[in-house]
């Protein structure tokens, strides 16, 4: 029996690739990426997975989210030799992680699946609370814009963005992306519905702070601080300095990742 | 000039009654009522008003809300000799209070207005998140019920409640209300809409924990744990011990107060 158990174990212990889909409220977190001292989503998840599987794991996310940014469907994966079935692990993890993180789905994927490299497109949604009065329930989940916004000009601005552009104007000042060209597949405005405006952006990828910088300029458009011509000029200038205000993190949600 | 200024000042310093309408996220608070050590909504507001008007004030609320319970339109009033116009005071207060409290309206009312004694009716709303999966964004703003709920039987239960009853069965075990008779004017279920069910209750007043106890039994009805006959029996028994589960505080919102 002890002789046959070895090859059996060897088979059981083959490395497996596990993919998670999760929702999190980013309010309390210093973003996705693990840091030495500050609490992060990746850090909390890696620690909980380690508790479950009994070995350290490296969790690969579809991309980072900044401090205060939320996720409706963040995707991540890790390699493990653990024999725990994904569905049992999901239940175990959900009892271990704080209640501002929820693992919606967990499953085996082929070993060559990589949450970041395999991405085909990502969708972000930016939520604006557009009433004069504050909304205490949306304070951590929207950007409060008090004044009137011209929805039509914002939609016109969004339609300009669809296509392949060098988005250097809208990248973060400290961005290290070498290739600033991205293909925006979808750029839409929904609402206003009960005071809430939603900006939707789908692209093959996003530069750091790109959605927040785009949203900032689109709001400037809506306020009449920027003309449609001015907006086009900023985009085509490919100059980081040309851009205006950056929208705050708490209105931003990573909505979907496609593979 | 100095002779005429005295009577003028005397007029300016006449006591005035000021009413506030406010919204708060109760998550962080140990309820409405001021306490010695714990943070409460009344405590935070009284301290901020004192800073504005330069004298201690007693803030009278339309009623207490428990720890974790929210308000969309809580009403309160205080008497002051301050000459600060309500609208200026409102702006000042909003810059002083934490961002989970927002004063929506502030105005002079007749001296005999009393936020609690003058109430004609109050409306509470109870929010249920009724999907199998958790929702991290609603964790502090709803009760998560995973299983299916029979909406029709819940509506039938609600319709039974309309009218004047002795609600002793649904009061808090430690309730000190002498008269347990209340008149429910409205009891409705809205939704489900995107996973959210809303129970609405309007009455001339509520006993302590009454809405949460009613909601608990209505959910038992919806789950099939309680029959409509059983629900009626609990109501008519006027026995506190007859009632089942009490819904948790975070789903409850004080929606409106009528005078």
Q: pLDDT of B118-164, one tens digit each?
A: 999 999 999 999 999 999 999 999 999 999 999 999 999 999 999 99
Of B102, B104, B136, which has the smallest distance from its Cβ to A99's Cβ? Answer: B136
CATH number, residue B134: 3.30.70.660
Q: Are residue A173 and residue A196 in the same domain, yes or no? A: yes
Residue ranges in chain A whose pLDDT is less than 70: 1-12, 175-177
Using a CB–CB cut-off of 8 Å, the residues of A that contact B are: 23-25, 70, 94, 99-102, 104, 133-137, 139, 141
Of A25, A133, A136, which has the smallest distance from its Cβ to B24's Cβ? Answer: A136
Cβ–Cβ under 8 Å, residues A160 and A235: yes
Q: Are residue B128 and residue B99 in the same domain, yes or no? A: no
Cβ–Cβ under 8 Å, residues A64 and A33: yes
Other CB atoms within 10 Å distance of the CB of residue A84: 16
Residue B114 lies in a domain: no
* Preceding omega of A192 cis (within 30 degrees of 0): yes
Q: Are residue B102 and residue B131 in the same domain, yes or no? A: no
- The active-site residue, picked from B13, B25, B47, B66, is B66
- Inter-chain contact B139–A23, Cβ cutoff 8 Å? no
Q: Are residue A105 and residue A151 in the same domain, yes or no? A: no
Helix (H, G, I), strand (E, B) or coil at A134: coil
Active-site residue list of A: 66
CA B205 – CA B184 distance, rounded (Å): 8
Q: Is the pLDDT at B111 greater than 70, yes or no?
A: yes
Which residues of chain A make contact with B99, given a CB cutoff of 8 A?
Answer: 134, 136, 139
Among B40, B75, B109, identify where a domain stops: B109
Best to test chain A binding among B104, B127, B137, B139 (most A CBs inside 10 Å): B137
Helices within chain A (DSSP H only): 2-12, 41-53, 86-96, 151-161, 210-223, 228-237
Tens-place pLDDT, residues A188-247: 999 999 999 999 999 999 999 999 999 999 999 999 999 999 999 999 999 877 778 999
For tokens 């995107």, what's the residue? B194
Nearest chain A residue to B253 by CA distance is A137
Q: Is the pLDDT at B59 greater than 80, yes or no?
A: yes
Confidence band, pLDDT 50/70/90 cuts, at residue B257: very high
Cβ–Cβ under 8 Å, residues B70 and A138: no
Closest CA–CA distance from residue A137 to any residue of chain B (Å): 6
Q: Is the pLDDT at B51 greater than 70, yes or no?
A: yes
Nearest chain A residue to B137 by CA distance is A25
Exposed (0-12), middle (13-18) or buried (19+): which is A161, by Cβ within 10 Å?
buried
Among A109, A135, A150, identify where a domain stops: A109
Q: Can you say whether residue B125 is alpha, beta or left, with left for phi > 0 and alpha for psi between -120 and 50 degrees?
A: beta
Residue B116 lies in a domain: no
Q: Is the pLDDT at B96 greater than 80, yes or no?
A: yes
The percent of residues above 70 in pLDDT, for chain B, comes to: 94
Residue A1 lies in a domain: no
- Residue in B186, B171, B144 with CA at minimum distance from that of residue B243: B171
What is the count of structural domains for chain A?
2
Predicted local confidence at residue B174, as pLDDT: 74
Q: Are residue B131 and residue B60 in the same domain, yes or no? A: no
Which residues of chain B make contact with A135, given a CB cutoff of 8 A?
Answer: 23, 102
- Inter-chain contact B136–A94, Cβ cutoff 8 Å? no
- In this prediction the pTM is 0.91
Predicted local confidence at residue A5, as pLDDT: 46
Predicted local confidence at residue A174, as pLDDT: 73
Nearest chain B residue to A101 by CA distance is B136
Predicted local confidence at residue B250, as pLDDT: 98
Closest CA–CA distance from residue A82 to any residue of chain B (Å): 25
What is the DSSP pairing of strand B196-203 with strand B181-193?
antiparallel
Q: State both tokens at B163.
A: 């009218």
Domain with B129 in it: 121-258
CA A126 – CA A70 distance, rounded (Å): 10
Cα A128 to chain centroid distance, Å, stands at: 17
Using a CB–CB cut-off of 8 Å, the residues of B that contact A are: 23-25, 70, 94, 99-102, 104, 133-137, 139, 141
Q: Is the pLDDT at B2 greater than 50, yes or no?
A: no
CATH number, residue B65: 3.30.70.580
User: Backbone phi, then psi, for B252, in 5-degree steps?
Assistant: -95, 135
Per DSSP, A92 falls in state: H
Q: Are residue A93 and residue A152 in the same domain, yes or no? A: no
Among A109, A136, A168, identify where a domain stops: A109
Q: Are residue A183 and residue A240 in the same domain, yes or no? A: yes
Q: Are residue B103 and residue B188 in the same domain, yes or no? A: no
Predicted local confidence at residue A241, as pLDDT: 76
| Bridge partners for B203 per DSSP | B122, B184
Q: Are residue B138 and residue B162 in the same domain, yes or no? A: yes
Tens-place pLDDT, residues B5-30: 444 444 557 999 999 999 999 999 99
User: Mean of the pLDDT values across residues B102-118?
Assistant: 97
Predicted local confidence at residue A12, as pLDDT: 57
Residue A150 lies in a domain: yes
Cβ–Cβ under 8 Å, residues A24 and A73: no
Predicted local confidence at residue A13, as pLDDT: 76
Predicted local confidence at residue B11, as pLDDT: 52
Which residues of chain A make contact with B137, given a CB cutoff of 8 A?
Answer: 23, 25, 70, 141
Cα B84 to chain centroid distance, Å, stands at: 28
Which residues of chain A make contact with B190, given a CB cutoff of 8 A?
Answer: none
Predicted local confidence at residue B1, as pLDDT: 42
Exposed (0-12), middle (13-18) or buried (19+): which is B137, by Cβ within 10 Å?
buried
Q: Are residue A131 and residue A208 in the same domain, yes or no? A: yes
Confidence band, pLDDT 50/70/90 cuts, at residue B177: low
- Inter-chain contact A137–B94, Cβ cutoff 8 Å? no
Q: Are residue A70 and residue A144 in the same domain, yes or no? A: no
| Bridge partners for A129 per DSSP | A144, A196
Closest CA–CA distance from residue A28 to any residue of chain B (Å): 12
Residue A249 lies in a domain: yes
Average pLDDT, chain B: 93
Predicted local confidence at residue A240, as pLDDT: 78
Cβ–Cβ under 8 Å, residues B103 and B19: no
* Cβ contacts from A onto B, under 8 A: 44
Residue B238 lies in a domain: yes
Residue A199 lies in a domain: yes
- Inter-chain contact B25–A136, Cβ cutoff 8 Å? yes
- Inter-chain contact A70–B25, Cβ cutoff 8 Å? no
Residue A2 lies in a domain: no
- Residue in A217, A218, A183 with CA at minimum distance from that of residue A197: A218
Q: Are residue B183 and residue B81 in the same domain, yes or no? A: no
């Amino acid at each position: 029996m002890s002789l046959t158990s070895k090859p059996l174990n060897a088979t059981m212990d083959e490395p497996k690739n596990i993919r998670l889909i999760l929702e999190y409220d980013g309010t309390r977190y210093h973003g996705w990426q693990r840091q030495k001292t500050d609490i992060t989503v990746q850090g909390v998840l890696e620690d909980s997975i380690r508790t479950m599987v009994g070995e350290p794991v490296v969790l690969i996310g579809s991309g980072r989210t900044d401090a205060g940014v939320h996720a409706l469907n963040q995707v991540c994966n890790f390699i493990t030799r653990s024999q725990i079935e994904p569905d049992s692990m999901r239940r175990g993890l959900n009892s271990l992680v704080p209640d501002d993180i929820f693992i919606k789905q967990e499953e085996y994927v082929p070993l060559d699946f990589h949450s970041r490299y395999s991405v085909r497109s990502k969708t972000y949604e930016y939520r604006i609370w557009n009433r004069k009065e504050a909304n205490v329930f949306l304070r951590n989940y929207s950007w409060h814009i008090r004044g009137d916004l011209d929805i039509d000009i914002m939609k016109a601005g969004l339609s300009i963005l669809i296509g392949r552009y060098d988005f250097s104007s809208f990248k973060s000042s400290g961005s290290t992306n070498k290739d600033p060209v991205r293909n925006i597949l979808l750029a839409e405005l929904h609402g206003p519905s009960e005071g809430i405006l939603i900006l939707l952006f789908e692209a093959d990828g996003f530069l750091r702070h790109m959605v927040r910088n785009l949203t900032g300029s689109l709001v400037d458009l809506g306020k009449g601080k920027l003309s449609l011509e001015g907006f086009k000029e900023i985009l085509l200038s490919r100059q980081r300095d040309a851009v205006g205000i950056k929208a705050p993190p708490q209105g931003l949600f990573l909505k979907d990742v496609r593979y």
